[in-house]
Amino acid sequence: MKTEIERKFLVVGDAWRADADAGEPCEQGYISSDPEAATVRVRVIGSLGFLTIKGPTTGVSRTEMEYEIPLEEAQQILRNFCKKRVISKRRHLYQTNGIVWEIDEFFGENKGLILAEIELETEDQHFEKPDWLGEEVSHDSRYFNAALACHRKKSEMHCS
């Protein structure tokens, strides 16, 4: 079982675009999104499918298990089990100083939102912040993908 240590920031401006890749379309849906227990999601990114289970967040860490699954099965799970708990985005990669940033540009109800995430080896790992990083939202559950998948205003936190 892997521990994911992730920090998340709002993105300010478009300066990151000059050095980021073109990105891949990503659609992910949530089967379960209980922050006290587990989040279970399915993701289609490019031509790959993944099933991911994440435990509760402590600080900026949580346990994570991710499995590649057949693309067709991932698409069926999105359609049949996730219903309205789906987000669409384009994931860009931006590399600097040996670190890879994942920059998610959201569509649909969350259009205009751009978030940057970085995965770390330890919670206190030092990293340089690019100029285009805005406010850190690692601890703000409104910016968790599971909350954004509810297709509600970012100020609302739970799906019905």
30 catalytic per annotation = yes
Question: For the chain, which domains are there?
Answer: 2-123+130-148 (2.40.320.10)
Cα dihedral sign, 118-122-123-126 = negative
What are the pLDDT digits (tens) for 114-138?
A: 999 999 999 999 999 999 999 999 9
pLDDT for res 36: 79
pLDDT at residue 91 is higher than 90: yes
Q: What is the distance in angstroms between the CA of the first residue and the CA of the last residue of the chain?
A: 30
72 sits in which H/E element:
helix 71-81
pLDDT for 157 equals 40
Which single residue is written with the structure tokens 């994942």?
102
User: pLDDT per residue over 4-27, tens digit each?
Assistant: 999 999 999 999 999 999 999 999
Instruction: List strand residue ranges (DSSP E) for 34-145, in order.
Output: 39-45, 48-54, 61-69, 86-96, 99-106, 114-119, 133-136
Strand 24-33 relative to strand 86-96, pairing: antiparallel
Give pTM, 2 decimals: 0.90
Nearest to 9 by CA among 145, 141, 116: 116
Q: pLDDT tens digit string along 24-76?
A: 999 999 998 877 788 999 999 999 999 999 999 888 999 999 999 999 999 99
